Amino acid sequence: MNRNAVASLAIILAAASQSAAQLGPIKPPPPAPQKSSTPPRVEPSFPAASPAAAEPSLGGPTVTAVETDPTLVERDLEGKVKRLTVSPAEAAVKLLKLDASTRAKVEVVLVDNAAAWDSFVRINLKDVLRIAQGLQSESKQGRSDASAASPNSESIAVPGKNRRPAAASRGNSGTAKLLEELRELMNATPVQPADVEADAAPAQSLRSRGTIGNQLAAVLSADEAAAMQALVKQYVEARIADRIAEAKAVGQELRPAQATSREMLEALGSEFKRAYERTVGQAAKSLDTAITTLQLSLEQESRFRQISGDSFQKTYGNASAQERSRVFFEIYQILTPEQREILVKQLR
């Protein structure tokens, strides 16, 4: 082979080497399958399972939340409307979607109304205690009468004859009489929140101030007030229907006007109870705090409560400066030197 042929062969081999490098390593062809006398095994084929089918859900059916209209009517397991712990108007206005400015005005009305009621309780504490004790007694008697006149009792009135148990009648009239006394006090007592300015408008009676519903409506727009009143109306009508049904179940006849009157009186009693618990309850809370702070022994605590309780009942929470001094020195005598120092620091 001459020199020119050798050079041509070298060029061809170099080009082939470069092409092989670009194509990558050359794999040898697979070996030819060998014939076998045993037939090939065929695996069963199943459709691929979807994720939901592969792992069934244990959470139950999907429930789509449905937005319902706001309502004050909630029923217990017996289907009766649950009584609100606040006035229907207050509960209703809290369900409304109000702007920040209006919401602030609403809060002012609610705080001012509570302060007026608290002032009323403080001014009339003697009568308030008497009425509160009477209502509590009537409530216990009413529960006893309701039990005696239940459908499972032998003393139930004969259906269709409208016979009414005398005890139940007395209980209702007793409660109504006490609440009427409360209404008269509300009409006669001028009240004013404790934090008002000295040159503020003259104090008004609770009756003159108007219902909490009217006070709230005054700071709402016409549409907002209508929405609040509609919620209150729905709740009151449901409560009245319950009252009529309950009376019918024990052989009594209760007219809608009577049921409405009782519902209004109970709402009044509920507002009164809240104010009573805030006022008198605060005194009890202060007493408990003092006992805890002074770390009294059981004997000291018993004497401390007796001294304070006797003074409260004697003065109906309106102790004079002389009475407060007497109570202080009487309590001071039962304390240790360390407790006396704590008491003095608390009073400074």
**Is pLDDT larger for residue 88 or for residue 61?**
88
pLDDT at 153 over 50: no
Q: Which two tokens stand for residue 151?
A: 């459908």
- Contact between residue 182 and residue 268 where contact means Cβ atoms under 8 Å apart: yes
Q: How confident is the model at residue 262 (pLDDT cuts 50, 70, 90)?
A: confident
DSSP string, 56-108: ---S-S----------S--B-TTSPBPPPSS-HHHHHHTTS---HHHHHHHHH
* Weakest-pLDDT range from 52-61, 116-125, 263-272, 314-323: 52-61
Kindly report, residue by residue over 209-222, the tens digit of the pLDDT.
888 999 999 999 99
**Per-residue confidence (pLDDT) for residue 183, from 0 to 100:** 82
For residues 104 and 175, the model is more confident at: 104
Q: What is the mean pLDDT of residues 23-37?
A: 51
Q: Is the pLDDT of residue 147 over 60?
A: no
Tokens of 3: 């020199």
Q: What is the pLDDT of residue 192?
A: 64
Average pLDDT over residues 33-51: 52
Distance CA 226, CA 182 (A): 30
Res. 207 pLDDT band, cuts 50 70 90: confident
Amino acid letter at 147?
A: S
**Rounded Cα–Cα distance for residues 93 and 228 (Å):** 6
pLDDT of 71 reads 94
Q: Which of 17, 13, 18 is nearest to 5 (CA)?
A: 13
Secondary-structure percent of the chain, ordered helix, strand, coil, rounded to 5: 65, 0, 35
The predicted pLDDT at position 29 comes to 52
Q: What is the pLDDT of residue 151?
A: 40
The predicted model gives 194-203 an average pLDDT of 53
Query: Which of helix, strand or coil describes residue 310?
Result: helix
* Per-residue pLDDT tens digits for 176-193: 788 788 888 888 888 765
Task: Give the CA distances from residue 45 to residues 38, 85, 96, 248, in Å, rounded to whole numbers and listed in that order.
Answer: 21, 67, 62, 72
